[in-house]
């Protein structure tokens, strides 16, 4: 679910980068450089190395070995030092005489780092090594159910999704988290070094740097998030109350106490971030359901991994987008290799800032991954749409936009779409809508607090509010506060449960996913209106609408060239992010949940 950023470093770029490496801070002469000359030279330099950098990072993610790790680590050090050097220079330049476009490019150079390295070459090298080590621990992580049966994260996640045995689920849940324990001291050291790098650039800590990337003062961004969460929180609380009650019926109150947070291992997902896999456990027997099983339909119609991707491509071509290039099909990774370690986490890649777009994904032939493929291709379509922008603008309006675009297409995997492509013969009647909305909410609504709390935890780690002494305790306090979830077994500071989630060892900011779950509904509602759709918004599909495709492409082509409110307005007509479109989408379900909870006499909250 992640687009690999153009700033991700290359392993094999070492030779190219060494020739232009700069370990020293900006000199006095550098500081007097003409800003326009500096921007042009920095942009050309970063564009030149980007393609080789991306290809090398691709190799490491697809062939995790000691050699590729060492190369990636060394290249990471060089690349980060270069980016820090440009950021440091950019911070000293007078931008008063620059055009709005030039000032925007200068700002991007200042802040376009995730983990800035200290100027000290030894510390920079160590920071790069830490990132590689953490990524390797996650990518190579296995839990052995038996001595000869060691499973990867996707295989373990399949058990979490399908098993209904609380003891088995508890064992797998706890087993996967064993892989994160060795990460704890590495992560702590990484935080300290990255904070030094951020402070050298004028930020209080890395968290402030991350929050500075949203076209508003860093201090204002958390307030915007709080407002969005307050807007949608009542819907989540109703869903939580309903699901806890139904799980209590399934497992008994001794397993799922009705006045406490829900045990995290019972929600069908390794991280309890999406709950769709337990739909059949929580949907009432008399509730008209979707009437079909997407996983079974894919198998019935002979969908293998490639055909699933081909069908997702067809969605975009039906909206007027060009087909994927031939290189996409020959260079992507679709199936988990059995002969080597790879990072299976689904991701979309843009390797040459033009048309060498790919996905890397260990596809499982099920309905969930069918949706994820549509999502990942959304990243690729976005990447290709802004390829004619200057290099520094080759990105989404903000990181939430990139995630939201793929999800807009996933929302369109409605019964109408499935009928159009021949997977079902008839669209279920209107009375089945509550079942469809419940299934959607178990993924979309359930995710909202999880999407918010991960960076709440990291921002407090970066600021020092959370120290190494209470990493794990603070993690579970936030999970309880936001999600109403608790660990199924005792946890201690010997554990490092945040590291069991890919985005923490990979240093991928996570607030983008929360924003995406808000923005996707805004985009979707506006594009359905553009397509001329009339009816319940949750039944709309954008499949086949070139009008919606053209409006969407107008925004995609803007890339990062304009502040995100202007990009948002290009599709929605409004410059304000709002949860109202999400609430509109789920309004029939919200009413139904309240009725069910009241009828059952449930005491909601935790």
Tell me the DSSP string of 109-158.
HHH--SSPPPSSHHHHHHHHHHHHHHHHHHHT--EEEETTEEE-HHHHHH
Q: Which residues contact 522 (CB under 8 A, 6 or more apart)?
A: 568, 571, 572, 574, 577, 578, 581
- Collapse the DSSP code of 349 into the 3-class scheme (helix H, G, I; strand E, B; otherwise coil) and give the result: strand
Which residues carry out catalysis?
345-346, 375-376, 379, 403, 503, 513
Quote the domain boundaries for residue 194.
2-138+183-211
Q: What is the pLDDT of residue 343?
A: 85
What mean pLDDT do residues 217-236 have? 96
What mean pLDDT do residues 446-472 have? 98
Q: What is the pLDDT of residue 24?
A: 36
CA nearest 519: which of 208, 271, 224, 218?
224
CB 169 within 8 Å of CB 160: yes
- End-to-end CA gap in the chain: 30
d(CA 266, CA 446): 14
Q: Is the pLDDT of residue 12 over 90?
A: no
pLDDT band per the 50, 70, 90 thresholds, residue 9: very low
325-346 pLDDT, tens per residue?
999 999 999 999 999 988 888 9
- The residue whose two tokens read 């679910």 is 1
What's the domain count of the chain? 1
Q: What is the pLDDT of residue 48?
A: 77
162 lies in some domain: no
156-193 pLDDT, tens per residue?
999 999 999 999 999 999 999 999 999 999 999 999 99
pLDDT band per the 50, 70, 90 thresholds, residue 556: very high
The sign of the CA dihedral 399, 401, 406, 410 is positive
Q: What is the pLDDT of residue 185?
A: 98
Q: What is the pLDDT of residue 4?
A: 54
106 lies in some domain: yes
187 lies in some domain: yes
How would you classify the pairing of strands 347-350 and 2-3?
parallel
Lowest-confidence region among 15-29, 55-69, 421-435 = 15-29
d(CA 277, CA 274): 8
Q: What is the pLDDT of residue 563?
A: 95
513-548 pLDDT, tens per residue?
999 999 999 999 999 999 999 999 999 999 999 999
Q: Which residues contact 565 (CB under 8 A, 6 or more apart)?
A: 215, 575, 576
Q: What is the pLDDT of residue 27?
A: 41
454 lies in some domain: no
Q: Is the pLDDT of residue 59 over 60?
A: yes
The proportion of the chain whose per-residue pLDDT surpasses 70, expressed as a percent, equals 94
What mean pLDDT do residues 403-409 have? 90
Chain-wide mean pLDDT for the chain?
A: 90
pLDDT band per the 50, 70, 90 thresholds, residue 233: very high
333 lies in some domain: no
201 or 323, which is more confident? 323
Q: What is the pLDDT of residue 2?
A: 56
71 lies in some domain: yes
467-520 pLDDT, tens per residue?
999 999 999 999 999 999 999 999 999 999 999 999 999 999 999 999 999 999
The proportion of the chain whose per-residue pLDDT surpasses 90, expressed as a percent, equals 76
378 lies in some domain: no
What mean pLDDT do residues 77-106 have? 86
d(CA 232, CA 235): 6
445 lies in some domain: no
d(CA 604, CA 606): 7
CB 242 within 8 Å of CB 256: no
Q: What is the pLDDT of residue 32?
A: 61
What mean pLDDT do residues 218-236 have? 96
d(CA 469, CA 212): 28
CA nearest 531: which of 574, 570, 571?
571
What mean pLDDT do residues 276-293 have? 87
d(CA 507, CA 76): 13
Q: Is the pLDDT of residue 574 over 90?
A: yes
What mean pLDDT do residues 42-47 have? 87
Q: What is the pLDDT of residue 196?
A: 96
């Amino acid at each position: 679910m992640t687009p690999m950023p153009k700033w991700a470093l290359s392993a094999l770029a070492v030779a190219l980068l060494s020739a232009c490496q700069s370990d020293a801070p900006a000199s006095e002469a550098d500081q007097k450089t003409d800003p326009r000359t500096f921007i042009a030279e920095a942009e050309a330099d970063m564009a030149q190395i980007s393609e080789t950098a991306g290809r090398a990072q691709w190799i490491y993610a697809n062939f995790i070995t000691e050699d590729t790790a060492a190369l990636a680590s060394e290249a990471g050090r060089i690349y980060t030092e270069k980016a820090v050097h440009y950021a440091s220079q950019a911070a000293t330049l007078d931008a008063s005489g620059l055009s709005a476009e030039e000032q925007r490019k200068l700002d991007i150079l200042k802040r376009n780092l995730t983990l800035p390295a200290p100027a000290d070459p030894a510390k920079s090298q160590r920071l790069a090594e830490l990132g590689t080590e953490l990524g390797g621990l996650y990518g190579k992580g296995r839990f052995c159910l038996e001595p000869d049966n060691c499973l990867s994260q996707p295989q373990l996640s399949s058990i979490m999704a399908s098993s209904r045995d609380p003891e088995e689920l508890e064992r797998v849940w706890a087993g996967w988290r064993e892989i994160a324990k060795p990460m704890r001291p590495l992560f702590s050291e990484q935080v300290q070094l990255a904070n030094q790098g951020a402070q050298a650039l004028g930020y209080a800590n890395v968290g402030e740097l991350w929050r500075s990337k949203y076209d508003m003062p860093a201090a204002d961004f958390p307030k915007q998030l709080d407002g969005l969460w307050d807007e949608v929180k009542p819907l989540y609380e109703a869903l939580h109350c309903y699901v806890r009650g139904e799980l209590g019926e399934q497992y008994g109150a001794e397993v799922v106490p009705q006045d406490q947070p829900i045990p995290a291992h019972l929600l069908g997902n390794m991280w309890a971030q999406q709950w769709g896999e337990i739909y059949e456990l929580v949907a009432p027997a008399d509730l008209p359901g979707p009437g079909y099983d997407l996983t079974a339909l894919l198998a019935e119609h002979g969908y293998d991994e490639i055909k699933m991707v081909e069908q997702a491509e067809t969605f975009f071509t039906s909206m007027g987008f060009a087909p994927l290039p031939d290189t996409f099909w020959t260079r992507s990774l679709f199936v988990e290799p059995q002969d080597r370690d790879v990072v299976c986490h689904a991701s979309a890649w843009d390797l040459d800032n033009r048309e060498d777009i790919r996905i890397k994904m260990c596809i499982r032939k099920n309905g969930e991954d069918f949706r994820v493929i549509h999502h990942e291709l959304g990243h690729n379509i976005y990447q290709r749409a802004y390829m004619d922008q200057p290099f520094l603008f080759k990105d989404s309006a903000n990181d939430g936009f990139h995630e939201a675009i793929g999800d807009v297409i996933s929302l369109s995997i409605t019964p109408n779409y499935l009928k159009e492509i021949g997977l079902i013969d008839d669209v279920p009647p209107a009375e089945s809508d509550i079942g469809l909305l419940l299934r959607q909410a178990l993924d979309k609504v359930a995710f909202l607090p999880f999407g918010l709390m991960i960076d709440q935890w990291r921002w407090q780690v970066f600021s020092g509010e959370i120290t190494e002494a209470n990493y794990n305790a603070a993690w579970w306090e936030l999970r309880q506060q936001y999600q109403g979830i608790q660990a199924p077994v005792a946890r201690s500071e010997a554990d490092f449960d945040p590291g069991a989630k890919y985005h923490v060892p990979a240093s991928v900011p996570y607030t983008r996913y929360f924003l995406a779950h808000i923005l996707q509904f805004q985009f979707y509602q506006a594009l359905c209106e553009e397509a001329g759709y009339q009816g319940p918004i949750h039944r709309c599909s954008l499949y086949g609408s070139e009008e919606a495709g053209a409006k969407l492409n107008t925004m995609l082509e803007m890339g990062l060239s304009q502040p995100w409110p202007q990009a948002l307005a290009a599709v929605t007509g409004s410059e304000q992010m709002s949860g109202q479109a999400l609430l509109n989408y789920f309004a029939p379900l919200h009413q139904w949940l309240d009725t069910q909870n009241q009828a059952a006499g449930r005491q909601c909250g935790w």
